[in-house]
Chain A
């Protein structure tokens, strides 16, 4: 198997304002993100040779972006892989470039959730009418928290206080992200007092229901400098799917996910990363719920297994820490329009690698990681980006 390392570059990215976009349709969000990406890369719509679009359930087929962007005479494919969908658009676009068939391609991810009348996310899984009756996304992830608390001997207050620190950190970072859904600090006390959504998770442990879109222009790595002086290179992309619902998997410990570990291993191998804690300078990970971010620290090798909480206590993942995580506010503050999220996590790393992250800029960034985790959860993607071609 060949590595994807340094074969593909990202030369332009764009993102819509995330939030409850009562004013904007899917088409408006897509145009907002795509035209920022065009401008950033300095390309015209006619330069795009192929496109991939990711959405969980806000549209079907390639026409979803062909219609608003008036893309003509190019192959466009819709991809979907639960919350990994945005990353899937990026990954397929990268594979299109790496195949040698195309020089310049477009990846778009979006979701228009606020037209559904739905105040919170279901799981979206249609596998069975009765086994999963009553299932919600917070419920699936609350199962992890219950088990994590149990394994660590934490009572409700100890466990929830630990998780609250993740929410406080991400909300703080969100205050420096003008396009995030929320720009508001929260305190540990506020998180603890928030209404329970799915015990033990409260409202401020959960990401919001958000509208948004994100887009990327990708090209052959050897052409990147002709577009811009500071392109970002793809160092590796790993994607892994776990068979069977975690709830049904025999012997499953419920405090970490093989999909995370496998996607990370694939990406690290491609990128040549041996010690992620030391080598990764900044990361955006899938904090759909606070507990998710905690187990991701461990699954991605940022913290030893079972000890992610120690790094929370030590402040490792704050903006000032050794390995800042979710510098843009993460899903918690930036929002989670499902199909857009993968590209949004890449957008932040792209800006950090270019030194254009404004007040939340991390110093000396050379290698960044972005991650998404999908569904119940069973699907994960890790992409590693760098600002120099090795």
Chain B
């Protein structure tokens, strides 16, 4: 059963929102059966590093917008953050039950080449799944969510993982440089044991060049602020959410929490007020003060945060903006608090490290050209065929456990190190297993964007397998033998003109304090 679709008349909408004359919305009244589709699990990822906006302001002699923004480490991008959010979401979920992975981002690391397949590989998902990349629009996060919902509604897939991530670049010195943040969010859409049902949605397309980035641009462009906010963001959000509330017979007082995408600290509040919502009690914190505006990931991130605090029966409103708007109405079920294991938004917010300078941020994002390193000092060659053959070890972090003597080795070895049994092993995943530092070095010769390079050996709890890897998100002064570590998917280097991904180890995040980095 597909969703029932109807089209509103332009004149009724124009009266409703008061400012628009040429709008049309697509809405869905969902059937009772379809309304059992919802969010089964949710997860988030916010990078460890936060940059005080005062540091950006100080670098440019500009005014600080206050608070801080998240900054992806030099080895992170939208794909690696998506993997982290998805792992947070799937903590305790049987991955063989997942029938699809939809990835949404305006900052996918490839123009040509899918990222959903890469993320699915890193997550060790089955290969007979739907994969799709939703790109370009700030609204792509909710676009992907609605597509996943439709696929689950129709029976095309039992459960689909939607993951959105963004790491957008504001022009150096621009307001956006301060406002943007890097983050990812993931929701698992299905019909069993849902935490919140998706009851209805309205979507609205609006062709407008308010915020854009051409295929040749690195930094986000925008037209005059007042027009962008009034005619773009506010008008679209009010229009779309208003239609949804009216159609569903929902009044402002019925909404427990509204998770509204916002490009700045005040935008969401203005929309909330216009809809009759109390920004102080009914509006989900936009996280702009602590994380920033996270593009395609923002609405889902706020939804994940809202679910962390929701009670059974709460009605939740989610809306995202970008070339129009999407608005969804959800109801938290009695399962809403069921055994959450991941860190979620709040866990990631609490685990942070202050980035000491703007220059570090600029270096991480490649805004400052650094002296090239002598080629022979760092391994920067690669090969598509090598990575492809070794994908189970490199992307899935699989080792081999000998069926004869039980020795576990990473990477996968055809011949056992101990008993030399040939081609007689079982692959085991080390990605989610706790580990600890066995030995390490703090290397100033290896170069890189954030020396010293912390490299060494961690020992996984899975069969005491040793993993030779770089360590990241760590304070070199805090490194010690036996330090508890967890594995994290990161971008390694650009050998063979590809992004080469692999796993690193990082100190267990909850153990990190708020020291400077």
Interface residue ranges, A against B (CB under 8 Å)? 116-120, 122, 126, 128-136, 138-140, 142-144, 146-147, 150, 195-201, 243-245, 247-252, 254
Contact = CB atoms under 8 A, between A and B. Distances in A.
B50 interface: no
A130 B492 contact: yes
Contact of A196 (B418, B442, B466, B467): B442
A58 B455 CA distance: 28
B445 A129 contact: no
Interface in B452-492: 452-453, 455-457, 463-470, 476, 481, 492
A136 B481 contact: no
B438 A147 contact: yes
A20 to B, nearest CB: 16
Contact of A139 (B394, B453, B465, B492): B453
Q: Which of B394, B411, B438, B481 has the most CB of A within 10 A?
A: B438
Interface of B: 374, 376-383, 386-387, 390, 394, 407-411, 413, 417-418, 438-446, 448, 452-453, 455-457, 463-470, 476, 481, 492-493, 495-496, 500, 502
A251 B463 CA distance: 10
A146 B439 contact: yes
A248 to B, nearest CB: 5
A235 to B, nearest CB: 33
Contacts of A147: 438-439, 481
A248 B443 contact: no
A130 B382 CA distance: 8
B470 A133 contact: yes
Given A147-B439, A196-B442, A198-B452, 9 more contacts: A130-B394, A134-B453, A136-B446, A138-B441, A138-B443, A139-B455, A143-B439, A143-B440, A199-B452
B417 A198 contact: no
Contacts of B502: 130-131, 133
Contact of A252 (B442, B446, B466): B466
The 10 residue pairs across chains A and B that have the minimum distance between CB atoms: A142-B441, A247-B468, A199-B442, A129-B382, A198-B443, A130-B502, A147-B439, A139-B443, A139-B441, A150-B481
A243 to B, nearest CB: 7
A254 B439 contact: yes
A252 B410 CA distance: 13
Contacts, number: 145
A306 B81 CA distance: 44
Contacts of B500: 129-130, 133
A294 to B, nearest CB: 15
Contacts of B465: 250
Q: Which of B386, B440, B493 has the most CB of A within 10 A?
A: B440
Contacts of B463: 250
Nearest to B416: A250
B164 to A, nearest CB: 27
B468 A248 contact: yes
A269 B307 CA distance: 72
A139 B493 CA distance: 18
Contacts of B411: 131, 248
Nearest to B378: A134
Contacts of A138: 441, 443, 445
A39 to B, nearest CB: 35
A140 B440 CA distance: 9
Contacts of A245: 468
Nearest to B453: A134
B379 A244 contact: no
Given A150-B481, A198-B444, A130 B387 contact: yes
A245 B394 CA distance: 16
A244 B466 CA distance: 11
B4 to A, nearest CB: 50
B468 to A, nearest CB: 3
B257 to A, nearest CB: 43
A19 to B, nearest CB: 20
Contact of A134 (B376, B379, B390): B379
Contacts of B408: 250
B455 A135 contact: yes
Contact of B377 (A126, A136, A140): A136
Contact of B376 (A122, A146, A247): A122
Contacts of B382: 129-130
